[in-house]
Each structure stands twice: as C-alpha cells, then as structure tokens.
Chain A
Amino acid sequence: MTPIDFLSAGLVLAGAGFFFAGTVGMLRFPDVYSRLHALTKGDNAGLGLTVLGLALQAESLAVVGKLVMVWLLVLLAGATASHLIARSSLRRGIDPWTAR
C-alpha cells in the first residue's frame, strides 16, 4: 500500500464515522432542529470525506469531477431541505427543545 492509499482509507473511514454520528444523532436527539443538525453533519462532512478519499484513488480527472459534482449536489440539497424543513416546523409551532 502506498501512502496515498493509507490517506484515502483514512478519509473514507472518517466519512463513515460522520455518517455513524449522523445516524446516532438522528436517533437520539430530542427535536426536529437538533436532528437536522445531525443529519446535515452526516450529509456534508460524511459524504465530503468519503468523496475526498475516493477521489484520491480515481482513475481519471473525469471521475474526480463527477465525484465532486455528486457532493456539490448533495450539499445543495441538504442546505435547501434543512432550511425549508426548519422554517415550516417553526411556522407550524414546533418549539425548539430547551434543557430543563
């Protein structure tokens, strides 16, 4: 294994760690808003690290471009979705959770 392979493996594993944290957060956090936080963490950082790790092993520049495009699309989707969901939750009168 070359150093690039080690780096790539580490990045992919770190990405999987973020996805795991996102799932745990979604299962354990108390309300919609904090779950959104966990979700977007998994989306952005998890997929970003995975893409970075895979891009290091990509055969051609075209593959790297495609990987980056997938990530940008998911970033856009995650940002839009979390904003819309949080806004309509607020308008529906769901109060953010506060420690008691």
Chain B
Amino acid sequence: MNVLLLGVATFLLFNLAAGLWRVMRGPTAADRMLAAQLFGTTAVAVLLLLAEGMEEAELRDIALVFALLAAVAAVAFVRRVWSPGARHDAD
C-alpha cells in the first residue's frame, strides 16, 4: 500500500517537472503564475501522500502551510504585479 502512495508521489513530482516548461515558455506572467499555482497544489498532494506513506504526521502540517501560502502568493501577484492598476512602481 505504501509503495503505491510513494509511487503516486513520484509520478506527481514528474508532472511538476514537466510543468516547468510552461514557466519557461510563458508567454505572459499570468501563465507563469498559473504554473506556480499548479505546483503549489501538486506539492500539497505530494506532502499528504508522503505523510501517509512514510508515516510522518508532521508533513501534514507542512502541507497546510503550503496551502495557505499558495493563496497568499496568487493574491499578492495579482494585486501588486499583474493588475493594471497595481501601484508597484509608485512605492
């Protein structure tokens, strides 16, 4: 059973590596941010799988923090950098 969970975690890691292509390619900043968002979610899933597969309960807390940070990162990106009215060059 644990072998399956670790295998799925590895598979998700390979997915993540493939997704890096979109970060490199763009073409807009939003596309790169989308890829980062998907990485965040995939990382959460990997952490949860590892927590169960390796019996390390602490990894679940790390996944919780990752989930929280993913939300903050995306909102900060849109409000400060990507939205037309962003004041990031004024301050």
Q: Which residues of A contact B (CB under 8 A)?
A: 1, 5, 9, 12-13, 15-16, 19-20, 22-23, 26-27, 32, 35-36, 39, 42-43, 46-47, 50-51, 54, 57-58, 63, 66-67, 69-70, 73-74, 76-78, 80-81, 84-85, 88-89, 91-92, 94
Contact = CB atoms under 8 A, between A and B. Distances in A.
B85 to A, nearest CB: 9
**Size bracket, chain B contacts:** 35 or more
A22 B4 contact: no
Nearest to A89: B30
B60 A67 contact: yes
A27 B82 contact: no
23 contacts: A15-B8, A19-B15, A20-B11, A23-B15, A26-B19, A27-B21, A32-B30, A39-B38, A46-B41, A47-B45, A66-B61, A67-B48, A73-B64, A73-B71, A74-B41, A74-B44, A77-B37, A80-B74, A81-B78, A85-B33, A85-B78, A88-B83, A92-B82
Contacts of A42: 38, 41-42
Q: Top 7 nearest A-B pairs by Cβ distance? A: A77-B71, A81-B74, A73-B67, A84-B78, A88-B83, A23-B15, A43-B41
Interface in B18-51: 18-19, 21-22, 28, 30-31, 33-35, 37-38, 40-42, 44-45, 48-49
A1 B4 CA distance: 13
